[in-house]
Structure 1
Amino acid sequence: MSYQQRTPTVVPANPFDPRADAEILRKAMKGFGTDEKAIINVLAHRTNAQRLRIDYEFKTMYGKDLVKDLKSETSGNFENLLVAMMTPLPEYYAKELHDAMEGAGTDEDVLIEILCTKSNEEIMVIRDAFRKKYHRSLEEDLMGDTSGTFKRLMVSLCNANRDESMMVNPEAARADAQALLRAGELKLGTDESTFNAILCQRNWAQLQLIFQEYQNLTGHDIEKAIKNEFSGHEEQGFLAVIRSIKNQSAYFAKLLNKSMKGLGTNDRALIRLVVTRCEIDMVEIKREYQANYGESLAEAIKGDTSGHYKKCLLHLIGEPA
């Protein structure tokens, strides 16, 4: 994935004094009223790792749980955003995956967003966090909650066995492009397993080459083939893999746009996307958002959110609130 430039909007505070930060937060929540501005100024300008250090110091100094204090002093989406910011990232991803599969129905969009865009190591860390938190394997839950081609895609990705060498082989790319063509557009019906094997195993640089070869062979983008050959969640899953390989920042800009457009805002998705990407590539995501949707991400957030929730989101994406 290193071929895509990645610039975060939240970087480690330097100098960093977790004890001083803990004092500021304690003062902000002590007595009558809450100083939300002080809370945002500290937490939205620290990395996840630094926030966890502050949490530790807070407990050491005051014998109190910072997250519990934040929850009792705030409410609604602002509270949800702060709790997300205070959760170790692997645990946060594990909880989002768990909640997406818990209860009636499955939120496949969450499974796709997380599993289709991560490196082997990231998936392994999330799997470990999932097992620790829920005492069962992520793969078991995926197998029980999904079906058909989509299930196979999720289980393959959950195995975290992609080649990550970034070595490219033009001949192999041509052969894979031909295999995809034979498994899809040249065949009555679709051989899903070929798509699954190639999209889940080849390294990201090699897949770029395969997509280019596919275009050369057919005169159209591989996305068109996926749309013709698949439907529903499997279509969305394969498209997510392809789009995040082509341009991960544009893919996340699209998800952010989706979370805010239409009837009501999907705040859970908005919070997850901002909290998890602000330390990775939010600068590029903002650029793609502006280019693709004709307004800035900041304008979209201002139009769709309010109060301290809005201010905190804007700080996280590096925009003046």
Structure 2
Amino acid sequence: MKYNTEQRIKIAETFKQAYGQDLIEELKGELGGDFEDVCVAMLTPPRLLDVKELNKSISGAGTDESTLVEIMCSRSNEEIQEIKELYEKEYECSLEDALMGDTGGYFGRLMRALVQGGRDTDDVDYTRVEEDAQKIFDAGAAQLGTEEAEINSILCVRSFDHLIDVFAKYEELSEGTSLEDAIKSETSSDLQDGFLSIIQCARNKQKYFAMRLNKAMKGFGTDDSDLIRLIVSRSEIDLGDIKDEFQQLYEKPLEEAVESECGGDYKRMLLALVQGNH
């Protein structure tokens, strides 16, 4: 792409100053479908794009839990705080209230914990690593039923570096069972997806996004909304590394996957973003 996100946003601001019209609204009036969605996403500041996607996920009939999980599990404390401020400004409602009004049970508790944006940033505390691993083991594998709240309190608060050591210690305690496998056997549905997403982000965030991209393109039809969000939102952060992980996982370039699974003008836009990250 010829212009980066900052430059594109500056172009939109200059357009408004020169012509008194909102460039995004003008594009919406002239374009349609996936091509419109890509153009609008590329002109939207990254955190505002997150806000729009979160609101879309909890508006109308049904909830898009997978998008909630993707954004809330992968953003930093600072990004979560910015998202919360922008959400309230955009929709006159706190993000926490919006999430609580649309999610419930243990999954709702997971969302409430993540929206606090309070993940530790301290160095690994090796004494606490053993305590946390034991708590997770006692909350699941060591008893009949799973104490999801205990797992939630650790996965949503500890730093990713700390969690990596917790995962290794858990595997020792469980005699070779990974925490991922334990989560799969002890939880289900959206909560399972949330827990697994946190674990995957802690282990390798770029691999997590590569898996999300593959999921958006496999099966019957392409989830264009997910594909657009993932490529646009990561294009100037770590898309080059995500491409490497995609190649390793699926033994084909991300460009090839996009080329074969997408169609129309929007495919060219996405390919330009992907090819611009080496």
Question: Above 0.5 in TM-score?
Answer: yes
2:112 alignment counterpart = 155
Counterparts of 1:213 and 1:282, CA distance in 2: 31
Deviates more, 1:90-99 or 1:66-75: 66-75
* SS at structure 2 position matched to 1:201: coil
Shift of 1:318: 2.2
Counterparts of 2:22 and 2:95, CA distance in 1: 29
* SS at structure 2 position matched to 1:116: helix
2:242 alignment counterpart = 285
Shift of 1:307: 3.1
Instruction: Pick one of 33, 37, 45 that aligns with 1:76.
Output: 33
Residue 182 in 1 paired to residue 138 in 2? yes
TM-score normalised per structure 1: 0.83
Shift of 1:301: 0.5
1:196 alignment counterpart = 152
Instruction: Pick one of 46, 54, 71 that aligns with 1:114.
Output: 71
Residue 214 in 1 paired to residue 199 in 2? no
Deviates more, 1:62-71 or 1:259-268: 62-71
- In the alignment, structure 2 segments of 5+ residues that lack a partner are none
Specify whether residues 69 and 103 from structure 1 end up closer, same or farther in structure 2 by C-alpha distance, changes over 3 A only.
Answer: closer
2:198 alignment counterpart = 241
Q: Which has the higher contact order (CA 8 A, sep 6+)?
A: 1
1:276 alignment counterpart = 233
Shift of 1:76: 1.9
Which structure has the bigger radius of gyration?
1
Conserved 8 A contact 1:199-1:207: yes
Provide the aligned C-alpha RMSD in A.
Answer: 1.4
Deviates more, 1:181-190 or 1:215-224: 215-224
Among all aligned residue pairs of Structure 1 and Structure 2, give the percentage whose two residues are the same amino acid: 45
CA deviation map 1:226-280 (0-9, x unaligned):
1111000000000000001100001000110011111111100001001101111
Counterparts of 1:261 and 1:45, CA distance in 2: 30
Counterparts of 1:66 and 1:145, CA distance in 2: 32
Conserved 8 A contact 2:119-2:157: yes
Shift of 1:80: 0.9
Q: When the two structures are aligned, how many residues end up with a matched partner?
A: 276
Conserved 8 A contact 2:255-2:275: no
Counterparts of 2:38 and 2:66, CA distance in 1: 20
TM-score normalised per structure 2: 0.95
Pairs within 5 Å for 1:159-178? 159-165=116-122, 167-178=123-134
Amino acid at match of 1:182: D
Amino acid at match of 1:46: Y
Counterparts of 2:16 and 2:91, CA distance in 1: 25
Counterparts of 1:67 and 1:136, CA distance in 2: 23
CA deviation map 1:163-192 (0-9, x unaligned):
112x01222111111111011000111111
Counterparts of 1:78 and 1:135, CA distance in 2: 29
2:46 alignment counterpart = 89
